[in-house]
Amino acid sequence: MIKAFIFDLDGVVVDTVGYHFDSWIKLAHSLGFKLNDDIKEKLKGINRMTSLDIVLAHGGITASQAEKIEYAKQKNDWYLESIASMNDDIILDGVKEFLISTQKEKLKIAVGSASGNARKVLSKTSIYSKFDIIKDSNDAKHSKPHPEVFLKAAEALSVDPSEAIIFEDSAKGVDAAKAGGFKCVGIGSADILTDADIVMDNLTHITADIIVKLLS
Ligand code: B16
Ligand code: MG
């Protein structure tokens, strides 16, 4: 029996992927190289330091651990500047209505994100209070594709992974969901989210009861 939905944050609930990427572009620029759009997909769903390694490799840059910490802080400072002006405009289409339908089904609602800024971002929106539990990289040692953040969210909701469905927009996040023993709805392209149980473009024109029926 399905008792909970656990949502990835960036790219599923809120439209922040571009803000993250813009901050990486600024960092690359400050280090003297350009980031191509094709790297954007690779940066989805993974934590800041792992993303930094990908960005630096793209620019052919070797950095000490101290430099890496400084670069990650700089990227995050730019992202925090973006967060400061966020509001309900970042909520992705269909999400508010979908959360209402989820509450109607009496399902518990959580976030499981690779970000360290999940609470800060959500607290800028009116849907913050809809989430019973928020777990992000501050609560998990391992980054997706490790299932830790989703398992922590399920544990906090007192549900078994078999009783929860994950919503994810990144291939790494889908891998994390499957590794944790969860059913997974991919949000995005079926060509990328190949291991998701079902894939949809977004959460418009769908309700929680239909998802439960499809995945039960
Ligand atoms: P931060 P998610 C992930 O969040 C993003 O997809 C990824 O692009 C970002 O680098 C990562 O969070 C870390 O975020 O720098 O804010 O700690 O998609 O798992 O909700
Ligand atoms: Mg995501």
Q: Which residues of the chain have pLDDT under 50?
A: none
Pocket probe mutation, ligand 1, options 6, 7, 10, 83, max atoms within 8 Å of Cβ: 10
Q: pLDDT of 112-170, one tens digit each?
A: 999 999 999 999 999 999 999 999 999 999 999 999 999 999 999 999 999 999 999 99
Tokens (6 digits) for 17: 């992927």
- DSSP, collapsed to helix, strand or coil, labels residue 168 as strand
Whether 164 contacts 5, CB under 8 Å: yes
pLDDT at residue 38, as a whole number: 87
pLDDT at residue 121, as a whole number: 98
Give me the active site residues, please: 8, 10
**d(CA 10, ligand 2 centre) in Å:** 4
- Residue 149 CA: nearest ligand 1 atom is 19
How many Å apart are CA 15 and CA 187, to the nearest integer? 12
Q: Which residues is 6 bridged to in the sheet?
A: 110, 166
Nearest residue (by CA) to ligand 1, atom 14, is 115
Backbone angles phi, psi at 94, to 5 degrees: 90, -15
Nearest residue (by CA) to ligand 1, atom 1, is 115
Whether 79 contacts 20, CB under 8 Å: yes
The CA-based diameter of the chain, rounded to the nearest angstrom, is 53
**d(CA 17, ligand 1 centre) in Å:** 8
Whether 193 contacts 12, CB under 8 Å: no
pLDDT at residue 4, as a whole number: 98
pLDDT at residue 189, as a whole number: 96
